[in-house]
Every structure is written in structure tokens, then in C-alpha cells.
Amino acid sequence: MPAKIDTNAMYAVFEMPTPEGIYPPKFVEYFRSLGRMRPILFLSFAPKAAGTFFRQAAMEALGNGALIRFTQAQGGRDGTPYLPNFLSALLDDKRSGFVGHLHMQALPANRNFIEMFGLKPVIMVRDIPDMLASYWDMLETDAVARADGLNCLIPQDFVSLSRAEKADFMIDIVAPWYASYFATWKDYCDQSPQTVCVLRYAEFSEDPAGTLYRAIHHAGFQTPRVRCEGAIQKVWGERDNFRFNKGVGGRGREYFSPLHLKALERMLALYKQLEPWKQELIGGAKHIRLAS
């Protein structure tokens, strides 16, 4: 990616932050100035919340927007923003803005990074059993997904496990990441409601263009809604290329037993801040209604 790397950027790359990711004030001021130069649509969706589809539609709507890889490497999926990638993007004067998608929890160091650049992340709230069902489908058919995992190691024999064993693995090993993910973002939303844009999968199902328009404007882009409508229609026709699975609400009840769902509910109950989102995270949703 072409970028005019200045002396400040060179010093910043080699500056060591605190273990919490906090930089000295002079560097924070520099990063803030870069963050004001051009908008970045920072999508921090959980896996299987239509994030890849949404990212592609956003790039289509923005026209001159470019994809930025927020993290150093994609393996493991639970990522942390990588400073050199951000500096390279923000110093590239040939682009009007950037779009990126990172499965990231809003842990303290990540929040410090967000605030340091003045980013305005976007998340999607969706029924967790449905996401786990979709993730399960992906693990059965996608060797790359099995190699990546989600902050965990996927068993080498996952495909040959019994259905009951797969259900246990998804609830016991994968689901806790989702519970923590939503708990961290709910904390952050409560502390900084103007920073985080919270989308709902049910709303996206009913009005995908309107949901995309809301996210883009939250990030600071001035893109008309009609561009969002055209982008959704175009990318919907190519959805199989962007890991869009079924988009059907309530599928999780076909994959997991009542005991599995009770275990998930107990996980969420440990995070008291999730009470306002509990029904959305456990309950069913409607079938997606994008035009074919």
C-alpha cells in the first residue's frame, strides 16, 4: 500500500507502549491528528454475523474506499489492531477512506487503541445459537476456518465427530468467546455510547441498506442511501463468495439441545451488563429479507 511515511510515523512504530497499550501524550496527539485525516469504517462483528458480506457492501457503497487489514495476521481470528497497518493506511493520500473487519473484543488495550485514533467501531448483535450453528456449518466445510479457530484449537477430527460431540464443543469451547465478546462491547457501549454503533441483525434483515447507511455515517462518511441500496443488491448476488451462510433466524434450536442453551444462558448471566441484550442473544430472529 503506497504511503508517505514521515519521521513521526517511523518513531511511532518503534515506540513501546505500556502493557495496557497506552502511548506517551506526544504520540497520542500525532495518532489523533492522523485519525482526523480520513474516516475508517471499523467493523468489529463477531464471526457469522454477516460481517464479511457487510464489509464488501460497504466497500461497494464507498466507491473509493479501500480494504485495510487491521491486524498483523488473520490466524486465530480474535485479533488486536496492528499499528503499522493503521499508519500506512492513514498516510495514504490516494484513498478517501478505509474499511476493515476484525473479530475483536473490546478489552482495555483495544479500547485504548480505538480512542487513540478516534475510531468509531461498529458491532452487530445477533442470536448466539444461530451464529454458533453457522460457525459449525463453516467448520464442517472449510479447512481454513478449522485451521484458524476462534481463540481456540479446533480438533483435527472435528468433521468426524458425532453430532452430539460437535454440539458440546461449540457450547463448551467456542461459546465462551461469544459471551465475553458481547460483555466487553456492552461495557464499552455503556461507557462511550457515542463511540460504538450497535446494529441489530433483525434490523439488518428487514432493512439492510438502511443498516449499512447508518454504519457508514457513524464512521464519518457522507454516502447517500441510494449508494447503499445499490451496494446491497450487487453484493447479495455474490453472497456465496463472502461466507454468507443461511441468514435464517432460529436455526440454533435445530443444532443445540435445551441443556446446551441453558449452559449458554448461564454464561451470559455471569455478565450482569448483558441483561438488556439477553433476549436478543438467546432468542430467535426473523428470516433475512434481501432481494434476490
Q: How many CA atoms lie within 13 A of 286 on its CB side?
A: 10
Question: CB of 137 within 8 A of CB of 255?
Answer: no
Q: Which segments of the chain does DSSP mark as H helices, in order?
A: 7-14, 25-35, 51-62, 83-90, 108-117, 128-141, 143-148, 163-169, 175-191, 201-206, 208-219, 225-236, 252-255, 258-269, 278-282
* Tens-place pLDDT, residues 59-87: 999 986 688 888 887 766 788 999 998 99
**Where residue 3 falls among pLDDT bands split at 50, 70, 90?**
low
Residue 109 has pLDDT above 90, yes or no: yes
Compute the distance between CA of residue 122 and CA of residue 113 in angstroms, rounded to an integer. 15
Compute the distance between CA of residue 264 and CA of residue 177 in angstroms, rounded to an integer. 11
Out of 108-112, 193-197, 200-204, 285-289, pick the least confident: 285-289
* Tens-place pLDDT, residues 220-276: 999 999 999 999 998 987 665 545 555 567 889 999 999 999 999 999 999 999 999
What is the model's pLDDT at position 290?
41
Which residues, at least 6 apart from 19, have a Cβ–Cβ distance to it below 8 Å? 109
* Tens-place pLDDT, residues 192-203: 999 999 999 999
Compute the distance between CA of residue 69 and CA of residue 278 in angstroms, rounded to an integer. 31
Question: What strands lie across the sheet with 40-43, from one edge to the other?
Answer: 66-67, 98-101, 40-43, 122-125, 197-200
Residue 125, strand partner residues? 200
Question: CB of 232 within 8 A of CB of 226?
Answer: no
Q: Record the pTM.
A: 0.90
Nearest to 126, CA basis, from 49, 71, 66: 49
Compute the distance between CA of residue 7 and CA of residue 156 in angstroms, rounded to an integer. 47
Question: CB of 68 within 8 A of CB of 99?
Answer: yes
Residue 40 CB coordination number (10 Å):
25
What is the model's pLDDT at position 132?
97
Residue type at 66 in one-letter notation: A
Q: 7-282: what fold?
A: Rossmann fold (3.40.50)
Domain ranges of the chain: 7-282
